[in-house]
Amino acid sequence: MRHKGRAVNTSLKQTGCPDGDCGYNESMWSLTTAFLLLFLQHPDPYAEGLKALETQNYALAVECFTKAVAADPKDHTAHFNLAFAYTTLAQDADAITEYKKALELKPGLYEAELNLGLVLLRQKRAAEARPHFEQAAEAKPKEFRPRLYLSDALLGLGNFEKAAESYKAALELNPTAAPAELGIAQALARGGKPGEAEPHFHRAAEIDPTLAGAALELAEIYEKAGQKEDAIRIYSQFPESVAAQEHLGNLLVEAGRPAEAIPHLELAVKQSPSSANRLALAQAYRKNHEPDKELPLLAAAVEAAPNDLDLKMGYGRELRDQRRYAEAAKQFATVAGAQPNRVEALNELAGMLVSLENYPQAIALLDRIRSLGAETEGHMYLRAIVLDRVRDLKGALESYQKFLAASQGKHPDEEFIARQRARILEKELKR
């Protein structure tokens, strides 16, 4: 015979609580002696079902209680026990049907209200779960669990103010309940009150050290709100978290503190050498004026993700800035080959070809850009420069004039050069 309060050793986090952040260690489901009646009170299928529940043979329990329900469709205890067996097997649709049937036959049945709410919450159907938890909390106002689960439903619905109030009420029933402290923290943080939430995150971690990582959510909220120093302070508390170290490093770079960022990002790369982590560290090296460390890191990132064209573009630009034009051109050419209409790749490649004095291919690329309808004043100026260098005087003059007509003061330095060259070319053409 099972005793009241004894249930499956399964936490809400394991069973899919909204946002995956409930993490209860206490019993979740309710199964009481009210529904595990003496074997003599029911025919054999019911008795066999009870034995199956005792031995945790839930598949057999489903088979037995299905027969019991068929034998007596109005037996709410059989429907409840069948629902319970389905619950443990994560056959939620069937469990929901049977819990509802039990409640139809026995309205307000506390255990059915509670368990049905939990299954619905597991299915991320918080709106449907809420009234069942409300009913259970009303039936047993001194019980902690229904109040806690009602709070979870409110949190899942985004009703953060009411959720915080409900978690506080749960905490009054159980002052050392870490999930309630954590719930208050999450409700306040998501409701735009991160400063008020912070002590509750700390309190939850004091009660249950396994919840310490939950404060990373607060750091993310601070980060999104632009409160970077607060985010940095919290991320600094998680040296073992790769994600925290990456965020911390990026924030330090953004704050103009690349030297401080580098150790955190190096640790992130060591623990998880992803392209994102390598790029973040490369950026820190660049801003800290360490190009000799930056480029090998980018090269490794590109090698690890050869199909990441955006990564190749970034690597190409860094090579360009280091005046390694041939290597940069190779990266841009790869991207342009894979995406022939990607104008930014064509632009970069054209610039590299001009720097490498490969003028015919540069002109061909400029023609391609024009055919795509993406020609700008910059392209016109570059075309003029190339034609000037290959001594196509007429073409160069036309391009300088076209650039000047289009620029109209937008590029004063280039316009000055263009006017000077145009005068010289006009004189040369009149000879």
Residue 385: band (very low, low, confident or very high) from pLDDT cuts 50, 70, 90: very high
Model confidence pLDDT, tens digit, residues 178-234: 999 999 999 999 999 999 999 999 999 999 999 999 999 999 999 998 999 999 999
Rg (CA), the chain: 34
Q: What is the dihedral of CA 106, 112, 117, 119, to 10 degrees?
A: -130
CB 354 within 8 A of CB 382: yes
Say if residue 155's pLDDT is above 70.
yes
Distance CA 136, CA 144 (A): 11
- Mean pLDDT value of segment 247-268: 93
Which of 120-134, 289-303, 363-377 has the least mean pLDDT?
Answer: 289-303
State the alpha helices, DSSP H only, in 140-209: 144-156, 160-173, 178-190, 194-207
Domain boundaries, the chain: 1-157
Element (H, E) at 88: helix 76-88
Say if residue 15's pLDDT is above 60.
no
- Mean pLDDT value of segment 17-37: 45
- Mean pLDDT value of segment 363-376: 94
Model confidence pLDDT, tens digit, residues 276-316: 888 889 989 999 999 889 999 899 889 888 899 998 999 99
CB 38 within 8 A of CB 29: no
Distance CA 281, CA 299 (A): 13
pLDDT computed for residue 138 by the predictor? 96
pLDDT computed for residue 32 by the predictor? 52
Residue 43: band (very low, low, confident or very high) from pLDDT cuts 50, 70, 90: low
Say if residue 21's pLDDT is above 50.
no
What is the pTM assigned to this prediction? 0.65
pLDDT computed for residue 29 by the predictor? 61
* Right CATH for 1-157 from 3.40.50.10490, 1.25.40.10, 2.60.40.420, 3.60.110.10: 1.25.40.10
Taking CA atoms, 411 is separated from 415, 416, 418, 426, in Å, by: 6, 9, 10, 22
Structure tokens at 72: 């007596």
